[in-house]
Structures are given as structure tokens and as C-alpha cells.
Amino acid sequence: MSVSSYLSSLSIRKQKYAIILVLLSLNTLLSVVVTIYNKNWYIFICILGLESFIKCINIILIISVSIWKWIKQKRTSRSEIYKITPEEINTTTTSTSTPTSTSTSTSKFLYVLPCYNETENELRNTIESINNQVKVSQHSKILVVICDGKIPSGKAKYSMKTNEILTDIIFKDYITFTKVYEDAYKMWDSKWNDLEVHTGIMNGMKFIIFIKSYNLGKRDSLTLVRRMTHYYNTSKDLSNEYNIIEYYGYLSTEILDFTDTAFDVETIVYDDIEPEAIDTIDKLIKAVSIETPTLPPPVTYKENKININTKIDYIIGTDADTILDPYCAYELIYTIQNASSNTVGVVGFVDVVKSWNPLVIYQYCEYVYAQCLKRYAQSNITHKVSCLSGCDQLIKVCKETCGNAILDNFNRLPEKNESILNHIRSYASEDRNHICLMFAMYPYVETVQTIKAISYTHVPDTIMKFTRQRKRWCAGASSNDLLIVVNPNHNKWERLQSFVNVLIFVSNIFVFVATIQFIMSIILYPTYLILQLATIMLIPALYSLLIPIIIYNDGISSDSSNSRDNIRFRIMNKNTNNHTQNNTQNHIIKSKLYNIMYYYAGFLIYYIFGSLLNLSIYFYTFYYLDDLNWNRKRVGDGEVERDGNGAGTGNTGGGNGAGGSETSSNSSNHSIVGCEIAHTCNCLKWILTYGCSCKYARSDNDEYSEKSSICDGGSSDGGSSNGGSNGGSNDNNKKSKKKINIDELWDNSEI
């Protein structure tokens, strides 16, 4: 019997304990050996230095490829560099800006914005940043907002629901069409969910709002929009009439009819206006916006108009706690239009909304370092970026990304007797899982990165939120890396890197102990060989120090007079009063210096405390490895409905969500006796959330409901990346919290 078969024969909880037992034994054995034979440290250098060796190879390859591209660029004419055809020249506008501002050919794309329990301010900032996108006026674009259930926004018990914020506040004066579709689409549990649909035009851009009756997670939302989009494209091709039939098993007839017209739009194309000619933000938005008729538009051809009732080329995805750089959409489209024909996805650069919280500073350095080394190497060397961050991604609408085959694998509920790894993949890191599944099914596809398409996201600012997020990321990344390792058709270098990633993660305890022993050996038993190996390990650190100087500095170019920098700075800082046109360049220079110092502060925190944080996350991840009880249906005022379909494998988006337990409808109200919250929560969550003292142990049901939802995992740090029923205020039904036994989640399953 294979290891996989043996694990599948165990319950999920027993699988977790089996994994913990094996890993703890191996790590303990290796740690004891390296401690006893510390003078023979070189025996373990093959594991200890493996990650540094991989990084050094990537750095060498990055430098080599960069030099080759520079030489090739010098020898190639400008027209060949940007691959502009005569047809594209006639249909696009030119620019006097830097080469990154080369125009893109006309296309049609969707902005997809999943949301869950975001506040009005978060939603407005994201939507406004979408409206502020520049140099995309020649494209037809539709904003699709999909609200995952009717959940109160934020943490307040009686706060306004997110769907009400969308329909009654933000889009209230622009909605022209409203309808509720019953049994609109099939969910992962083979049941059907209702959709409330609103459409209209705001600031010249057509929008569609989908409000799901049940909260099922971001993965479900992405699957719905991608399936509808692929159906729309398929329906435009009469030769695919037979293929349309299969969509009737996923979408209702009414939704299919709605889809046939909802994504049609007619637009007027304006000439691009140079940023320096625009005096105010309002003029900028007006200049790049489009005019569209009401839904559904007629199929017409008029002078100076382009009929856009054609296939949708791309989907640009973001999160509701993310702010897009004004050039983000343009850079994503430009990158994929100038990439190879096998490229089906592009990821931008995820920056951080900065603050002087040490945890935020640490994450900023970590984000920048990871994206400028590993992801940068994947994009430029193998063209196999393994994770397209959900807050800043573009995917081409095709069968490889949005077809029924890939979506069926992407959004499915694992059987009870499947491996725990399949369950982890089903709820953690859906962006990475989608790409890894795509690599397995379609080995020829490519994905790339552009560091010029920048987005700004909010990261966890407390230890508890940070730990929960990293638990999902670590478990999701390792389980999906295993898909790459066992994929014989994948790039061999990427398979090796994935194997090293998994090996280093599972041996975290040993690596921590061996690193301490290695440092002690340098101090106590210095030799020339040790110094040579230490020098090799310092190469990634040196590369990291150069990142804010030569690779990335908050998207600001080295030329402070560049018009792109001027307009970008004015848009991102339009609420300040001290940035007139005359001193904009001074602010840009100060911003560069600020970003460098901010990064170096994170660099110090990263190298001093990074190992301790990683070790803590390691223990937390495996202790809660079977915590799969997300993605339960939520209805009404945030109440959780236990509908007998078993445990939903909740979804999270590589973003900044905090997940946890949910309230069962079987729970009843009761008084608090003693320290009920400490009894409900486990010790680790309690200490990380509140400290050692139980100051919330009271007999007030409301107080208990509010506090226990936080330490049970009900709190959210924002972002549509909060998957399933994780995050949010689960306390509104005022019912007691209790930990759900994972092995009992399928007991009443109807599947």
C-alpha cells in the first residue's frame, strides 16, 4: 500500500497526527545528530545550504537573461521590439512617454471584483482606483462585482451589509436593471444558488453586480464569473453550438440568456491624453472613461464607434481591499499582448499599504524580495509563474483558464476519504491551485510577471491575523508544490525548486537548529571552507539589498520628470493638500528615498526575526492542519446555516484573510459560566489574541458572542481574499461557538 493510499484510509484528523508524528520524529533525529556532531556540520550542508544554492542559481540566471535582453534590444529595431503591426498602428494611439507606454491593440476585458464583508471605504477605494486606470480608453471594459452572500461589513454587530453598501450607496444612482434569478447556478455541492443581479453605467463604465444568496467563498465567485465569460465567448462562435449544451448543467437558462446580452457593450474611443496635460483628477477620469448605452445594447456600427459585441479577451482580477496603480490594467494588457501565444496569465506586483507597524514593515520586505527573486526568475527564465496573485492578475479567457474541465477540478468538494492534501488544496491558496492544476492539465501554457503593474494591498497588522494567513499560505503552497513535483510534463528546474521548497518547509525545525549550529561553528571553529560557504549564502542577501535600488522602488522610474510618475503620484495622493504641480518632482524623489529606507528597515527585521516567525508559523500550521471547516453557507444577518451538505472546503485567495470556526445552527444560547471564552478557544489562539488574562469572561451573551467570534476565527482583516465563511462578524446570531469536529463534517452529507 502506498503512502497516499494509507493516508486516505485514515480520517482527516488521524492523517494530521500521522504527518506530525513523522515530521517531528525526523526533525528531532536530525536536530539531535547535528547538535552532537556540531564539528561535522558540513555533513548537513546539503540541506542547510540547498535553498541558498537555488537562490544563487536564480540570481545568476536573472543577471544573464537581463544582459542578453539588453544586448538583443540594442541590436533590434524599435518596431520589432514592441511587435506593432500596421493594423495596430492604425487602431491605437502613440505616446511620447517611456517605452512602457507603447499603445496596446484594442481588446475587451472584465474587471472582476469579488467582495465579502468589506466596508464602504474599502470598496470605494478599490472601485475608484479601477475608474482611475489610464491608457486603456481604446479597450471595452466592464466592471463585474460579485458579492459573496449578504454579510454585514466590518466587525460591528449591526453594521450595514456589504451588498447593501453596493446597491444602496455606491451604485444607487446608476443602477438601471435589477432582477433576482432563482437557482441561477450550480454550487460545488451540486445544489443551486440564487443570484440577485444589478446592472448600469457609472462614470462611463458599464457594471454588473452579482449578489449570491449563500456565502460560499471567493473560489465559488471566481468559478461563476469565469464560467459565464467562457460561455459568452463560446456562444459567439456558431461552430461551438454543441459545446454550449454542457453549460446547461452549470447555469440556468435565464442566466445563460442574461449572459448573452450582459457582456455586450458599445463604446466610443477617445484619443489618449498625455498626463501632463491634465490638471485635475476629475478631468483624467472623464478623459479616459467611455460612454455606453443601457443594457442590452443593439448591435450597431456607427462612425467613430467600435462594436464590442465580440468575445471577451481578458479578465483582470483584484480584491476589494486593494488599490490599483493607475497604469496597472494597461501594463497587464501590454505584457500579455507582447508575450508568446502560449501565455495565458500575467501577474502584477503586489505592494503593501505602508505603516510603521513592525509586522507590516517585515511583510513589505518579504513581499518585495519574493517577487523580485523567485517570481521574477520564474517569469524571465521558465515562463512558469506558479501563483498569479488574485489582487493583481490578468488571465486570458480560454479553455485552459476558464473551461469547464479546469473549473470542475478547481472548484470541487473532496470526498471524505481523500488525502488531506486534496482538502488543503480545496480551501487554501486558490490562485496558486488554479495555476498548478492548469500546468498539470495543459503543460504548454505559460504565465509571466510584470513588476510595472502595481497594486497596493492591506496586510495583517496583528500576530493573530498574520499567523492565520501564513497558515493557509504555507499549507496551500506546499500542497500545490507537490502537484508540480509529481507533474512529469512540467519544467524540470521548476520541479526541483518546488521539491526544495517542500523539503525546507517540512524540515523547518532542523533547519532552525542547524543554522544556529552553523553560526556557532563560524565563531568557535572558523575555517576557510566555512567562510567560503558563508560567502555563498550571503549572495542572496546582497541581491536583496540591491532590489530597491536597481529593480523595484514603488513603481517610480529613475527619471523623476517622467509624466507617468507625475500623474501616478497625483492620483495616489489626491487627498493631500501639499502636492502642487511645482513640487510633485520633489515629492517623488522623497518617496524614492522613503521606500529605500522602509525596505531596509524591513530587511533588518526579516533577517533578525524571520527564522523565529517561520518556526512559529510552522508549528501553528501543522497544529491546525485539519482546520477545514470553512465555506459554510451563511444567510441573513451573517447567520450560518448548517444545510446537511457536510463541510465546505473553504476558499482563501492568497490575500489577507483570517479564517476560523463558524457557528452551527444547532447551537443554543446559554449563559457564560466562568471563563467560557477560554474554554471555547484553544490556548494558543487565546494567548495570541488577548494575552493570558481572561478579561472578557462575563455573563453577558452579547459580550460573549462578540468576543468569542474573534478568538474563534471570525475576525477578518479585510479583503475579498477571505475565503469561504472565514472572517467577518459571525456573532450576529448570538449563538455559542464550538469547535467543529472535522471527521463529523461529512456525517450528514447528501453528496
Instruction: State pLDDT tens for residues 174-215.
Output: 999 999 999 999 988 888 999 999 999 998 899 999 999 988
Residue type, position 659, single letter:
G
Residue 167 has what pLDDT? 93
Residue 245 vs residue 271, higher pLDDT: 245
Q: Strands 322-324 and 314-317: what pairing?
A: unpaired
Residue 311 has what pLDDT? 87
Residue 731 has what pLDDT? 40
Whether the pLDDT of residue 713 is over 60: the answer is no
Whether the pLDDT of residue 374 is over 50: the answer is yes
Residue 25 has what pLDDT? 94
Residue 5 has what pLDDT? 61
Residue 3 has what pLDDT? 59
pLDDT band at 667 (very low <50, low <70, confident <90, very high): very low
Residue 518 vs residue 344, higher pLDDT: 344
* % of the chain exceeding 90 in pLDDT: 40
Residue 161, beta-bridge partner list: 152
Kindly write down the DSSP assignment for every residue of 81-145, as one continuous string. Answer: HHT--HHHHHHS---SS-GGG------EEEEEEEESS--HHHHHHHHHHHHT--S-TTSEEEEEE
Whether the pLDDT of residue 367 is over 50: the answer is yes
pLDDT tens column, 38-88 = 777 667 777 777 888 899 999 999 999 988 888 887 776 544 444 444 444
pLDDT band at 499 (very low <50, low <70, confident <90, very high): very high
Q: What is the mean pLDDT of residues 566-590?
A: 54
Q: Which residues contact 385 (CB under 8 A, 6 or more apart)?
A: 345, 347, 375, 378, 379, 435, 447, 448, 449
C-alpha 347, offset from chain centre: 10
Whether the pLDDT of residue 317 is over 70: the answer is yes
Q: What is the mean pLDDT of residues 548-562?
A: 60
Whether the pLDDT of residue 23 is over 90: the answer is yes
Residue 8 has what pLDDT? 62
Whether the pLDDT of residue 314 is over 90: the answer is yes
Residue 155 has what pLDDT? 56
Where is mean pLDDT largest: 5-14, 230-239, 323-332, 569-578? Answer: 323-332
Lowest mean pLDDT among 139-153, 229-243, 621-635: 621-635
Q: What is the mean pLDDT of residues 440-456?
A: 94
Tell me if 153 sits within 8 A of 163, measured CB to CB: no
Residue 631 has what pLDDT? 36
**Cis peptide preceding 443, ω within 30 of 0:** no
C-alpha 272, offset from chain centre: 31
Cell 530597491 identifies what position?
Answer: 548
Lowest mean pLDDT among 205-214, 303-312, 502-511: 303-312
pLDDT tens column, 286-302 = 443 333 333 333 333 33
Q: What is the mean pLDDT of residues 669-691?
A: 38
Whether the pLDDT of residue 679 is over 50: the answer is no
273 burial type by CB count under 10 A (0-12 exposed, 13-18 middle, 19+ buried): middle
DSSP class of 656: S
pLDDT band at 284 (very low <50, low <70, confident <90, very high): very low
Residue 593 has what pLDDT? 85
Tell me if 250 sits within 8 A of 227, measured CB to CB: yes
Residue 115, beta-bridge partner list: 147
* pTM for this model (two decimals): 0.75
Residue type, position 686, single letter:
W
Residue 266 has what pLDDT? 56
Q: What is the 3-state secondary structure (H, E, C) of 580-598?
A: CHHHHHHHHHHHHHHHHHH
Residue 591 has what pLDDT? 78
| Summary mean pLDDT of the chain | 73
Whether the pLDDT of residue 436 is over 80: the answer is yes
- Integer Cα distance of 643 and 238 in angstroms: 41
Q: What is the mean pLDDT of residues 732-742?
A: 37
Residue 123 vs residue 673, higher pLDDT: 123
- Integer Cα distance of 535 and 490 in angstroms: 32
Residue 90 has what pLDDT? 38
pLDDT band at 129 (very low <50, low <70, confident <90, very high): very high
Residue 87 has what pLDDT? 41
Cell 552553523 identifies what position?
Answer: 518
- Integer Cα distance of 159 and 152 in angstroms: 6
Tell me if 664 sits within 8 A of 642, measured CB to CB: yes
Residue 63 has what pLDDT? 92
Tell me if 633 sits within 8 A of 216, measured CB to CB: yes
Residue 239 has what pLDDT? 59
Residue 384: how many CA atoms within 13 Å on its side-chain side? 20
Whether the pLDDT of residue 29 is over 60: the answer is yes
Residue 110 has what pLDDT? 95
C-alpha 97, offset from chain centre: 31
- Selection from 560, 553, 542, 546 nearest residue 607 by Cα: 542
pLDDT tens column, 383-419 = 999 999 999 999 999 999 999 999 999 998 888 778 8
Residue 500 has what pLDDT? 93
Sign of the alpha-carbon dihedral angle for 345, 351, 357, 361: positive
Whether the pLDDT of residue 668 is over 90: the answer is no
pLDDT band at 380 (very low <50, low <70, confident <90, very high): very high
Residue 583 has what pLDDT? 59
Angle among Cα 496, 497, 503 to the nearest 5 degrees reads 90
